[in-house]
Amino acid sequence: MLLLPYNHLSSQLKILSMAIIIAIQLACTSNDTNTLPFNSNQIKTPTSQPITPSNISKITNVNYSTLLHTKSKTTRWYRLLENPRITIIDFASLHEQAQTLNRVASLIEKAGMPDNRVIKQEELDHYFKTNSLNPDTFYFGHNYNIEDLIKFLNMVQRDHLKLNFHEQNLHQRLQELGLLKAYAGKYKIFNPPQAIVTLTQLQADNPISFENDSVDIAIRCTVLRHELSHGEFSTNPSYRQHTKSFWQNTLTASEKTLFKKFLSNKGYAIKNDDLIANEMQAYLIHSPNLRAFDPNSINLTKVRLKELRNKFISQTNSSWIIQHFYFQKKIPTNHWNDLNCNFD
């Protein structure tokens, strides 16, 4: 999962801008009976089409570089050529992604949310409202094992909950691709391991949202790399073992504490050791954009950060994602800024 930092100043400026817009709209309304009052629903967001036999196409095989620069007005599904166990959903917008996966995220890894049941939509809406959060930026990208989605769907069935329109589309598409298999009325774990990762198309910042919800090419690149590294962790046993060993044996106790604090501040449920190790590698190795990960946020020196990255990279050669970004591309590990998202 990838969360971007919440900027309170930006949020306050947006709220002020929204108040000004509302005032202008109300003033216009008082002077012109043909002018409608301001309504946030006038901001249109892309919507997905219902999944029916007539509009389903076979999943497309794609490599990283092609996917990064693919543009689409609709949500599309892909299988990664570099690792076919990773399925990618490229959502048309952050809004559609949020409607599809926010309840899954709440169950699987969000701190403060119930992990023994699927949260009801009205509960989640109340959470966003009381915390002045934008539901669309709950996460900028998602990653799940198929087991995570099975847990979600089985709990929905157990508790007789309803899926929303977008969740239904996800459920149906997973079935059609053979990623879900039911036995005795329940979904069972898929073998070999499969992963679902998501990102969104480019979009401009919505001026009336609580925070910056823009997605430019640098953010799209960072989200894609970050989430694909999670997919690699889930489906490549060698990479997963290397990551867990690195977390346990290479980082000092104080560095682990710093990383846990960093993740906790972002809202991750840090009681899960695998999740912590997984997020550590995704942020440290595969999130070069400073909007996503600022090394200063974990209070480590530049020298130590470079040392940690070099050790992680040099100790594994069994992963396509390390080969692609750190050997084929010859990326200097001390060059840690937005430009790293422009290799392809």
Residue 181: pLDDT band by 50, 70, 90 thresholds? confident
Is the pLDDT at 11 greater than 70? The verdict is no
pLDDT of residue 343: 35
pLDDT of residue 297: 82
Is the pLDDT at 243 greater than 70? The verdict is yes
Number of domains in the chain: 3
Phi, psi of 23 (to 5 degrees): -60, -45
pLDDT of residue 245: 96
Phi, psi of 247 (to 5 degrees): -60, -45
Residues 301 and 163 in one domain: no
Residues 179 and 285 in one domain: no
User: Is residue 251 included in any domain, yes or no?
Assistant: yes
Lowest-confidence pick of 32-36, 74-78, 158-162: 32-36
pLDDT of residue 29: 35
Residues 187 and 267 in one domain: no
Lowest-confidence pick of 17-21, 174-178, 335-339: 335-339
Residues 218 and 71 in one domain: yes
Residues 127 and 205 in one domain: yes
Q: How far, CA to CA in Å, does 121 sit from each of 92, 101, 106, 212, 277?
A: 22, 12, 11, 24, 30
Which whole number is the average pLDDT over 192-210?
91
How many whole angstroms separate alpha carbon 338 and alpha carbon 290? 7
Residues 22 and 64 in one domain: no
- pLDDT tens string 41-87: 322 333 333 433 333 347 899 999 999 999 999 999 999 999 999 99
Lowest-confidence pick of 44-58, 233-247, 273-287, 318-332: 44-58
Q: Which two tokens stand for residue 294?
A: 């600022």
User: Is residue 121 included in any domain, yes or no?
Assistant: yes
Domain holding 165, by residue range, is 60-228
Which of 177, 194, 228 is the endpoint of a domain? 228
Is the pLDDT at 21 greater than 80? The verdict is no
Is the pLDDT at 332 greater than 70? The verdict is no
Q: Among 278, 279, 281, 287, which Cα is nearest to 312's?
A: 281
Which of 228, 260, 285 is the endpoint of a domain? 228
User: Is residue 49 included in any domain, yes or no?
Assistant: no
Residues 224 and 92 in one domain: yes
pLDDT of residue 7: 53
pLDDT of residue 329: 56
User: Is residue 323 included in any domain, yes or no?
Assistant: yes
How many whole angstroms separate alpha carbon 92 and alpha carbon 78? 14
Residues 75 and 217 in one domain: yes
User: Is residue 166 included in any domain, yes or no?
Assistant: yes
Which of 228, 245, 264 is the endpoint of a domain? 228
pLDDT of residue 190: 67
User: Is residue 305 included in any domain, yes or no?
Assistant: yes
How many whole angstroms separate alpha carbon 59 and alpha carbon 299? 43
Lowest-confidence pick of 136-150, 153-167, 184-198: 184-198
Residues 124 and 261 in one domain: no
**Average pLDDT of the chain?**
82
Lowest-confidence pick of 7-11, 77-81, 223-227, 305-309: 7-11
Residues 201 and 182 in one domain: yes
Residues 122 and 209 in one domain: yes
pLDDT of residue 301: 83
Residues 71 and 179 in one domain: yes
